[in-house]
Every structure is written in structure tokens, then in C-alpha cells.
Chains A and B, each alone.
Chain A
Amino acid sequence: MSSSSEIYSLRVNGKEQHVKDSWIGESLLYVLRERLGFMGAKGACEQGECGSCTVLIDNEAVCSCLVMAASAVDTDITTVEGLATAESPNDIQQAFVTEGAVQCGFCTPGLIVAVHHLLEGNSTPTEIEVKEALSGNICRCTGYGRIFSAVQLVISQREKSNS
């Protein structure tokens, strides 16, 4: 049994990261941002309502604010930084830009992770499946129309490149 009080390490985007001088009750969101410098996941509600802190843990999309960071040892954590780089955005990120699905941008990283997770499990989701999959991500600017257009664009582009 492993018990740790102050130092532990997390596997973030494939690399071991040592967490020092932290309080054990800290959320994964806090540790990612404040201890490890991953600023992609955003903190807003801190109660799992807004989805802006969405990350993948062992390929499941979860709210990082509701994960006790120290409990996530020995899992694979993927943040938006692990999906692509600023220099070469992935097709989901590019589609968000193309369709104007980004306004203030605060919810965008969480949405990118949620869309990535959806399309990994289902490459041709129906409109209702897209809405269902993004129901945990709140956007206060766009009214969601352009976000759904961006998802549709990714789906059709991927279909084309596969045919």
C-alpha cells in the first residue's frame, strides 16, 4: 500500500511530474495549474458544473476540479496541452477557429478535450450524441451553435480523409 503525505508524482501527458510542497486535499485542477504549470485546464465553478477543467484520466473525460490530485497517482492524465501544440493545433482546435467557436476562450480547452474524447469513442456521433457529450461543458458566449458546427466540421473532414 502506498501512502504519501507531501510528495507524489503524476503522469501528465506521458511524463512523470513531481508534486512537492502541496497539501494533500488539493484538486488535480489546482495541482496542474499552480504546482505544475499546465494552464490549459481552467478553473471556474470548482464543483463539476462547468466542465472548463475537463481532462482525461485513463482515457475518461472527467472534471479535474473533482479529482483529488494525490489519488491520481498511477493513472494517465492527459490535458489539452497533451493533444497538440500551440504551433500545430489539432483538427479539433483548427475547426473551432475556422467556425468561430471561440469567443472569450475560457471554456475552449475543456470543450476541446470533451470533443476529442467523444470522437475517440464514436467517430460519427449524431447531433443529439454531440449535445449529450458536451452537456457538461458550459459556454456563456457562443450559444453553442458554432461549437456544434466545429464538431460537425471535424467529423466531415475526418470522414473525407478516411474515404
Chain B
Amino acid sequence: MTIFSPRSLPEALQAINEHPGARLLAGGTDTMVEINFRHFEPTDVISLRHVHELKIFEDQANGYRIGSAIPYREFENGSYVHASRALSEASRTVGSPQIRAAGTIGGNLGTCSPAGDTLPVLSALDAQVELSSINGVRTLSIHDFMLGVKRNARNANEIITAIHIPKVDGYQGYAKVGVRNAMVISIASACLVHDISNKRVAIALGAVGPTIIRCRESEVWLSENVDLSMQSSLSTEVLQEFAHRVSAEARPITDHRSTAEYRTHAVGVLAQRLLKRAML
């Protein structure tokens, strides 16, 4: 087993090209659990700790380009808290302060767990994932990037270099159900983004399917029944119907964390709560 500690992105891309099976190590908060519990024995590891290009945040005209190795902490209450309120709220719910100082959004995408906390946010924002190799850069919609439980569209010789999110005019929020406040993996989660300029609401669900679920049908129903060009107070009937429709789009399983029935109910409650906050 060998560990590579590249000092620049070109060096990192060279390393992954020469060792396409290597495990990319970002914050380590997922990989080290697997190694500590002998669920995974690495052969080659490429540590991204010293690749400074992956820690750059750019405020661009229409959105933000987020370096993949920026830790959650910076979005929770650090330098980039302004980038997205939902991303900030989601980052705050990850693990503990120690985990949030180490774990990164690129790592969340790399692991691609259905319970990954920032993934519903990236889905609801229609984020673009930037993948680089020695052959160049390609950008993929988040919806095409996430393929299934811990499966994504990154090629073996690529590194997730950045995530692009748009600037949206309107409410955005994240909510999650777990057994307690800190140190908890989602039982169910949801992110809602109200895009006032484009008169639409996006809602994405976590931990209730093999990957993040975008509730397209509920979104269309809402745009047909509510004027989304502004904040308007909604009737209980509309809120309940929205909750019901979002629940119907969930595809949860029963596992050691919760039951499918509870998860179905929970995402409806979260959706209704977020929509209410959006329209306050």
C-alpha cells in the first residue's frame, strides 16, 4: 500500500491517472471508519489534504464555485456561510464540530450515501459537479452524478474538483430527522428551495431512496396551485396536500435506523414545515 500526498492539482491528477483504483482521501471521516472497522483495506491512497486548488471558493456572476475539499465548517459558520442558507443548515447537522472541521462537500459527493447531508441541497439547487482528469474538465448535473447507494459517475481517473451552485432569490432551507441533535445520521431529510424569479419550488429528499429524490411531481403540482412569484401564505389544505404528495414520491426502505412507514411520514412533515417557512 502506498499513500500519495500531491502538493498541487496537476500532481493529484497525475497520481490518480497512474493509480486509477486509488482511494481519494478528502476529510477521511468516511474512509477511516471503513478502515478502522476493517470493512475496507486500501491499496493506494491519494490524500487531497495539501491540494490547495481544491480549497478555493469563488463568487462568480451567477453562482458560486465551491472547491471540493472545503470542510463543512466553512459553510456552517465560517467564511462561506453566505453561499447558501440551505447548505449552511445542512452543514450544521453533519456529525460534530470535529467531523465538520474535517469532512468536505466533495467527500459527501464521493461517498454518495443516500443520507449524505449536503446532497439534498445540491439536488434542490440543481448543482453542477466538476470532474477533472489529466484529459481535461467535465461538468455533470448533480442528477446525473448520483447513480445509487454509494455509487456515482466519477470515472476512476477523475477527481471531483468543485461544485457549482446558483445564486437563488428566495427562501432555501434544510431539515432533518434523527434520534438526537448532534452526531446523528439522517433518518430522513429534505431541502426546499424557493426560486422566486423563476416562480418555482424545488424539493429534494435524503435517506428515503437509493439516492437523493427530487419530487418533480409535487413541484409541478405546487406551481400549478400556488403563485410562486412571491411569498404568499398558504392554506392548511395546500400544505397538507403538498406533504401528502411529497411522501408519495419517497421510496424508503426499513433498516436499522428506521422504518419505511416512519420515513414516508417524516419527509411529508419536513416538506410541509419547509414550505411554511418559505412562505412566511
A24 to B43, CA, bound (A): 9
Are B28 and A67 touching (Cβ within 8 A)? yes
Contact across chains for A62 and B98 when beta carbons are under 8 A apart: yes
* A63–B36 CA distance with the chains assembled, in angstroms: 13
Residues of A within 8 A of B97 (CB): 61, 114, 132-133, 135-136
Partner of A63, one of B37, B41, B99, B182: B99
Cross-chain contact B5 with A71 (CB below 8 angstroms): yes
Interface assignment of B6: CB less than 8 Å from any CB of chain A = yes
Asked whether any CB of chain B lies closer than 8 Å to the CB of A75, the reply is: yes
CA distance A119 to B138 in the complex (A): 43
For the residues of B in contact with A, the DSSP-based class is mixed
Q: Once the chains bind, are B14 and A1 in contact (CB under 8 Å)?
A: yes
Assess A51 versus B96: contact at CB under 8 Å? Given A25-B42, A60-B101, A135-B182.
Answer: yes
Q: Is B177 on the interface with A (CB-CB < 8 A)?
A: no
Interface residues on B, range: 35 or more
| Measured CA separation A5–B49 after assembly (Å) | 17
Q: Could you say which of B15, B49, B181 has the most chain A C-beta atoms within 10 Å of its C-beta? A: B49
A24-B1 Cα distance, complex, nearest whole Å: 7
Q: Which of A48, A73, A74 has the most CB of B within 10 A?
A: A48
A101 contacts partner chain B, Cβ-Cβ < 8 Å: no
> Closest approach, in angstroms, between the C-beta of A57 and any C-beta of chain B?
8
Contact A68 B45 (CB under 8 A): yes
Is A47 in the interface zone, CB < 8 Å from B? yes
On chain A, which size bracket covers the interface? Answer: 35 or more
Q: Which of chain B's residues have a CB closer than 8 A to the CB of A68?
A: 3, 25, 28, 31-32, 35, 45, 47
Known: A62-B98, A67-B32, A135-B183. A74 touches B50 (CB 8 A): yes
List CB contacts (< 8 Å) of B84-106 with chain A: 95-99, 101-102
Contacts of B25 in A (CB 8 A): 68, 71
Q: Per-position contact with A for B66-96: 1 when CB-CB < 8 Å, else 0? A: 0000000100000000000000000000011
CB-CB under 8 A from A24, the residues of chain B are: 1-3, 42, 45
- Residues of chain A within 8 A (CB-CB) of B59 are none
B179 within 8 A of A: no
Residue B29, interface by CB 8 Å:
yes
Known: A23-B1, A27-B35, A136-B95. A66 touches B29 (CB 8 A): yes
Q: Which residues of A contact B5 (CB under 8 A)?
A: 1-4, 70-71, 73-74
Check if A81 is an interface residue, CB within 8 A of chain B.
no
Residue of B nearest to A55 (CB): B98
**Nearest chain-A residue to B12 (Cβ)?**
A1
Q: Say whether A54 contacts B98, CB under 8 Å.
A: yes
Question: Considering only CB atoms, which chain B residue lies closest to A59 in the complex?
Answer: B101
> CA–CA, A70 to B98, complex, Å?
19
Distance to closest chain B CB from A120 (angstroms): 13
Contacts of B47 in A (CB 8 A): 68, 70-71
Q: Are A48 and B50 in contact (CB under 8 A)?
A: no
> Which A residues lie within 8 Å of B33 (CB)?
46-48, 66
Q: Determine the distance from Cα of A49 to Cα of B32 in the docked complex, in whole angstroms.
A: 13
A65 contacts partner chain B, Cβ-Cβ < 8 Å: yes
20 pairs from A and B in contact (CB 8 Å cutoff): A2-B5, A3-B2, A4-B5, A23-B1, A24-B2, A24-B42, A46-B37, A51-B96, A51-B98, A61-B97, A62-B101, A67-B28, A67-B32, A70-B3, A71-B28, A71-B45, A73-B5, A135-B181, A136-B96, A136-B183
The list of the 8 closest CB pairs from A to B, nearest first, reads A136-B96, A71-B47, A135-B182, A46-B36, A60-B101, A66-B32, A1-B11, A47-B33
A interface residues (Cβ-Cβ under 8 A, vs B): 1-5, 23-25, 27, 46-49, 51, 54, 60-63, 65-68, 70-75, 114, 132-133, 135-137
Besides the contacts A46-B33, A63-B99, what 17 more A-B pairs have beta carbons closer than 8 Å?
A: A1-B5, A4-B2, A5-B1, A5-B2, A24-B2, A25-B1, A25-B35, A27-B35, A46-B37, A48-B95, A49-B183, A63-B98, A66-B102, A68-B47, A71-B49, A74-B5, A136-B95
CB within 8 Å of A: which residues of B?
1-7, 11, 14-15, 25, 27-29, 31-33, 35-37, 41-42, 45, 47, 49-50, 73, 95-99, 101-102, 181-183
